[in-house]
């Protein structure tokens, strides 16, 4: 098929696809008009319901249904599908009031239109300042007109849904922003994909079932897409090495180092009496207390060691207001009442935060700022309508609680000192106290707490090593095993290369029947094989009582080699090892976490495991510190004490401000001679010891 013909076919197919009517949304027009309200108002929740039963829903639909384009049928259908939920307004800690929550991310609803000609008509948020020239009630009047019609089935469905709706939460989400191919799908299809994943998740209860499901889906995708096993494996490589979803999820909770974690926003619906600002109304206090004991407290406890900033943002329209705290009341400029009310709110929050500090939910008082925002909609007294929804939209109060810097900043400059302090407990004079310290698997370096003879010199004789080596490394059985391994190679060489019929007939005579030159050749070959096994081994000639010569491996002499006792300095933070130079004296190593190590160690973990691994053994990098003199002893207590030190070191942890977070001897359960890595102490994500430690 030539290129010209291919282009014609391609163009015809594209035209056919464009002409075909493909539904791109899973929602009806009525549902889209309601869901568009979430996008237009930029919020995940709409309205206030005073009770969650059928009566409360009917009252809400009568009061606000028209404003939100919401009918009983739409509400029932979207609740069934899990698109919206009725949840407590102040979080699940309390449930005096309820709100309608959208379970879809707002960016997935972009493009929907409510069809309203005037922006701002849909708000149901009570004003944060006065909505007119004269005092008015803070609650909106009921809407008697235009009551939405509902079907009989929707009423029954709502009744059934209300019982279970409280416990239903959707955490299913298909991330498309950084996907390779999913972003090409219409957004309506993505919604259905999320529903399918959610349903499947409810049917599976174990990790094994979920793993089987993923395998089944891969099988079916491979079959329907015509992929070979090699291509499916390549998909796994894409997932494993380019896990984009992992980055997307992390970005949803943690921003970059400069911006810090996502801020917590708490919109407040309660309001002051007209022109008042000195005292918080009871309903305002109630709403604040619900938030303080719920979302705010949880957020603050998560970041208890970070610098916390609280911004009180008060929005006010340009509608004329009066200060009714003075007599006679006086007209004030826009922004006056919002500023005054924010000051009262700040005093209330300072008292609340002080209580959280006392109960140790917070380590320090947050800083509180006030931000007054005057709306852009112009107002002309006597001409403009003060009840215009455009003004109502500009009247609000919200708290913005943010963390200064990234999560891991509380770990930067954290100091972890591993020490032997003779003033504390017990007695320690030995050279088997070298440990590797790790935090969540990341090595911090070596803590060398040796304080005996080997710690005084850079090199010296390794006392007792030769004797130990002879007893343990060059036993008769071990040398015999080496001989049996080399013997067949040497006899084969003699048979293949020496024209000697007797050796061919009796291979064991390979040496005794060889000529003088051939013997030298065999000895050289045997020693070559021995050197490959151990440079200390060599072969020599022996004779039987009958005078027949043979070769035998010679056991090395008992030699104590000269070795280096220098332990390389490798500690995160570059802090030098401390020593008082005394035998049995104080030794310590301090590790200081920089930003890179703090970020790597903390990661997505809620806690930090500090582990310790003894390094002194008969093999490995630090074999020269093993006590071979003790190992050769007939005293079982000395033999047991030849290996790594077992007493848990003295640990001190301080933060960047040199506040001591921990000091003591953790119970790590080390045993003498063990080189097993064990948990020394468990800390929270900012270095504080957990209560269970």
627 is written with which tokens? Answer: 């006590």
The pLDDT-based confidence of 417 (bands split at 50, 70, 90) is very high
The percent of residues above 70 in pLDDT, for the chain, comes to 79
The H-or-E segment that residue 372 falls in is strand 367-374
CA angle 510, 516, 519 (to 5 degrees): 40
Confidence band, pLDDT 50/70/90 cuts, at residue 439: very high
Q: What angle do CA 262, 266, 267 make, to 5 degrees?
A: 130
Q: Where are the beta strands (DSSP E) in 103-219?
A: none
Residues 152, 153, 158, 163: what is their CA dihedral angle, to the nearest 10 degrees? Answer: 120
pLDDT digit string (tens) for 575-603? Answer: 888 888 888 888 889 999 988 888 888 88
**Residue 178: what pLDDT?**
59
Listed in sequence order, the residues at least 6 apart from 309 whose beta carbon sits closer than 8 Å to its beta carbon are: 366, 367, 368, 369, 401, 402, 403, 404
> For 424, how many CA atoms within 13 A lie in the half-sphere containing its CB?
17
Sequence-distant (≥ 6) Cβ neighbours of residue 328 within 8 angstroms: none
Here the tokens at position 411 are: 């770990």
Compute the distance between CA of residue 408 and CA of residue 506 in angstroms, rounded to an integer.
76
Q: Could you tell me if 337 and 275 are in contact, meaning their C-beta atoms sit under 8 angstroms apart?
A: yes
Q: What is the mean pLDDT of residues 426-433?
A: 78
Mean pLDDT computed over every residue of the chain: 77
- E strand or H helix at 370, and its extent? strand 367-374
Cα–Cα distances (Å) from 1 to 4, 13, 16, 498, 512, in that order, read 8, 16, 21, 74, 83
Q: Where are the alpha helices (DSSP H) in 603-654?
A: 628-631, 636-640
Cβ 471 vs Cβ 480: under 8 Å = no
Please report, in angstroms and rounded to a whole number, the separation of the first and last CA atoms in the chain: 74
- CA atoms of 48 and 45, how far apart (whole Å): 9
pLDDT tens-digit readout, 313-332: 888 888 888 888 888 888 88
* Phi, psi (rounded to 5 degrees) for 427: -140, 140
Token representation of residue 672:
């003498």
In the prediction, which pLDDT does 195 show? 76
Name the 3-class secondary structure at 213. helix
Tell the burial category of 483 from Cβ atoms under 10 Å away from its Cβ (0-12, 13-18, 19+): middle
Give the C-alpha separation, 316 to 334, whole Å.
7
Per-residue confidence (pLDDT) for residue 296, from 0 to 100: 85
Mean pLDDT of the region 33-58: 83
Domain-by-domain residue ranges, the chain?
A: 29-170, 254-405, 410-461+565-684, 475-554
- List, in sequence order, every residue forming a beta bridge with 323; answer none if it has no partner: 330
Q: What is the percent of the chain where pLDDT is above 90?
A: 6
CA distance 237 to 245: 14
Say which residue the tokens 């070191």 belong to. Answer: 649
The span from the CA of 352 to the CA of 25, in Å, is 46
The CATH class of 254-405 is alpha beta
Q: What pLDDT, on a 0 to 100 scale, did the predictor assign at position 525?
A: 92
User: Could you report the per-residue pLDDT of 447-464, keeping only the tens digit for each?
Assistant: 998 888 888 888 888 888
Distance CA 305, CA 409 (A): 9
| Mean pLDDT score, 241-254 | 44
DSSP string, 348-373: HHHHHHHHHHHTTS-SSPPEEEEEEE
Least-confidence region, from 18-22, 232-236, 363-367, 529-533? 18-22
Residue 667 token pair: 């119970």
Please report which confidence band the pLDDT of residue 691 belongs to, taking 50, 70 and 90 as the band edges.
low
Closest CA to 571 of 594, 592, 601, 597: 592
Report pLDDT digits (tens) over 127-152: 334 434 433 333 333 333 334 444 44
Cα–Cα distance measured from residue 371 to residue 313, given in angstroms and rounded to the nearest whole number: 5
Q: Output the six-digit token pair for 565.
A: 């006792």
The structure's pTM equals 0.43
- Verify cis geometry, omega within 30 degrees of 0, for the bond prior to 328: yes
């Amino acid at each position: 098929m030539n290129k010209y013909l291919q282009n014609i076919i391609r163009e015809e197919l594209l035209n056919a696809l464009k002409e075909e009517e493909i539904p791109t949304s899973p929602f009806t027009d009525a549902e889209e008009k309601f869901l568009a309200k979430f996008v237009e108002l930029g919020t995940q929740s709409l309205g206030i319901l005073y009770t969650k039963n059928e009566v409360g829903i009917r009252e809400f639909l009568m009061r606000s249904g028209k404003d939100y384009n919401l009918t009983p049928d739409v509400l029932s259908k979207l609740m069934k599908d899990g698109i919206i939920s009725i949840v407590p307004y102040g979080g699940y800690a309390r449930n005096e009031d309820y709100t309608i929550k959208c379970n879809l991310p707002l960016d997935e609803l972009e493009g929907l239109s409510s069809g309203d000609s005037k922006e701002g008509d849909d708000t149901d948020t009570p004003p944060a300042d006065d909505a007119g020239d004269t005092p008015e009630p803070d609650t909106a009047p009921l809407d008697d007109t235009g009551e939405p019609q509902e079907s009989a089935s929707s009423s029954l469905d709502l009744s059934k849904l209300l019982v279970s709706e409280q416990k239903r939460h959707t955490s299913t989400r298909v991330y498309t922003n950084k996907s390779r191919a999913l972003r090409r799908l219409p957004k309506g299809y993505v919604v259905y994909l999320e529903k399918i994943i959610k349903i499947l998740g409810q049917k599976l209860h174990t990790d094994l079932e979920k793993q089987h499901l993923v395998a089944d889906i891969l099988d079916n995708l491979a079959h329907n897409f015509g992929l070979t096993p090699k291509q499916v494996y390549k998909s796994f490589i894409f997932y494993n090495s380019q896990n984009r979803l992992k980055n997307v999820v992390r970005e949803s909770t943690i921003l970059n180092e400069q911006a810090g974690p996502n801020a917590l926003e708490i919109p407040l619906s309660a309001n002051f009496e007209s022109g008042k600002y000195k005292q918080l109304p009871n309903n305002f206090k109630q709403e604040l207390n619900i938030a303080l004991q719920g979302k705010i407290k949880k957020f603050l406890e998560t970041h208890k060691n970070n610098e916390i900033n609280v911004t009180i943002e008060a929005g006010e329209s340009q509608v004329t207001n009066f200060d009714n705290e003075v007599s006679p009341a006086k007209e004030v400029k826009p922004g006056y009442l919002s500023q005054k009310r924010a000051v009262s709110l700040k005093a209330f929050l300072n008292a609340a935060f002080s209580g959280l500090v006392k109960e140790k939910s917070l380590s320090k008082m947050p800083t509180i700022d006030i931000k007054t925002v005057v709306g852009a909609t112009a107002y002309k007294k006597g001409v403009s309508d003060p009840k215009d929804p455009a003004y109502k939209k500009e009247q609000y109060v919200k708290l913005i609680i943010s963390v200064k810097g990234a999560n891991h900043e509380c770990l930067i400059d954290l100091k972890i000192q591993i020490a032997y302090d003779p003033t504390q407990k017990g007695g320690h004079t030995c050279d088997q106290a070298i440990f590797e310290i790790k935090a969540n698997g990341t090595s911090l370096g070596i803590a060398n707490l040796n304080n005996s003879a080997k710690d005084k010199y850079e090199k010296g004789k390794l006392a007792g090593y030769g004797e130990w080596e002879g007893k343990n490394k060059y036993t008769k059985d071990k040398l015999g095993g080496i001989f049996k391994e080399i013997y067949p190679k040497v006899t084969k060489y003699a048979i293949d290369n020496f024209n000697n019929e007797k050796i061919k007939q009796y291979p064991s005579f390979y040496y005794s029947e060889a000529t003088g030159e051939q013997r030298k050749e065999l000895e050289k070959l045997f020693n070559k094989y021995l050197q490959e096994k151990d440079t200390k081994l060599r072969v020599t000639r022996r004779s039987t009582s009958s005078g027949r010569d043979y070769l035998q491996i010679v056991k090395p002499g008992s030699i104590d080699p000269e070795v280096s006792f220098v332990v390389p300095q490798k500690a995160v933070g570059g802090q030098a090892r401390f020593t008082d130079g005394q035998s049995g004296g104080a030794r310590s190593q301090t590790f200081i976490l920089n930003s890179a190590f703090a970020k790597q160690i903390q990661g997505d973990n809620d806690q930090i495991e500090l582990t310790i691994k003894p390094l002194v053994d008969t093999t490995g990098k630090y074999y020269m510190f093993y006590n071979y003199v003790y190992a050769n002893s007939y005293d079982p207590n000395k033999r047991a004490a030849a290996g790594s030190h077992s007493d848990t070191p003295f640990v001190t942890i301080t933060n960047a401000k040199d506040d001591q977070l921990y000091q003591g001897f953790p119970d790590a359960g080390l045993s003498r001679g063990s080189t097993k890595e064990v948990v020394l102490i468990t800390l929270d994500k900012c270095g504080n010891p957990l209560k269970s430690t």
